[in-house]
């Protein structure tokens, strides 16, 4: 059975607020998951947050930040034909800053015959990117993310 938050803050409200903060900070979709969120629902007013963290109902939250970003390779044949595309990937950034099980959520291209090439290039780059992990109240947590990779012919 799920855990019910006391008083007026429900787990759903905390998750929705986390998502709003992620969007306000211009991150492409992130959401705290895991064991560290549940205890914060039971806590009272959190203290003032340290620099780099955001205060929300769950407490002080530090969102993941890329520390080693890998840019995708544009498939050469797609570049030669000036084919463009978008690939949206979802996955979890674990407490080590690694991406776990990234999957393609959606993809599109100006020539559908290049979808697979764009998806493979985007996944390869995302798998190699490393992050500073997320924290909730000073404890490392896994965080779900989405990232849209754009392939634009110049």
Q: What's the CA gap between 6 and 65, in Å, rounded? A: 31
Phi, psi for 127 (deg, rounded to 5): -65, -30
Q: Which helix (H) or strand (E) holds 148?
A: strand 139-151
pLDDT digits (tens, 9 = 90+) for 106-145: 999 999 999 999 999 999 999 999 999 999 998 999 999 9
pLDDT of 53 over the 90 cut: no
Q: What are the structural domains of the chain?
A: 11-151 (3.30.2420.10)
Supply the pTM of this predicted model.
Answer: 0.66
| pLDDT classification of 100: cutoffs 50, 70, 90 | very high
The tokens for 120 are 């493979």
């Amino acid at each position: 059975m799920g855990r019910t938050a006391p008083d007026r803050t429900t787990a759903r409200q905390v998750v929705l607020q986390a998502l709003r903060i992620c969007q306000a900070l211009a991150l492409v979709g992130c959401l705290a998951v895991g064991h560290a969120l549940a205890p914060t629902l039971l806590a009272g007013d959190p203290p003032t947050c340290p620099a780099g963290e955001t205060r929300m109902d769950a407490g002080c939250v530090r969102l993941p930040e890329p520390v080693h970003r890998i840019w995708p390779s544009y498939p050469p044949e797609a570049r030669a034909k000036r084919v463009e595309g978008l690939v949206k990937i979802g996955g979890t950034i674990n407490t080590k800053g690694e991406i776990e099980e990234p999957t393609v959520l959606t993809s599109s291209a100006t020539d559908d015959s290049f979808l697979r090439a764009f998806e493979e290039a985007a996944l390869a780059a995302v798998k190699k990117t490393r992050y500073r992990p997320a924290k909730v109240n000073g404890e490392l947590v896994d965080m779900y993310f989405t990232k849209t990779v754009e392939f634009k012919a110049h």
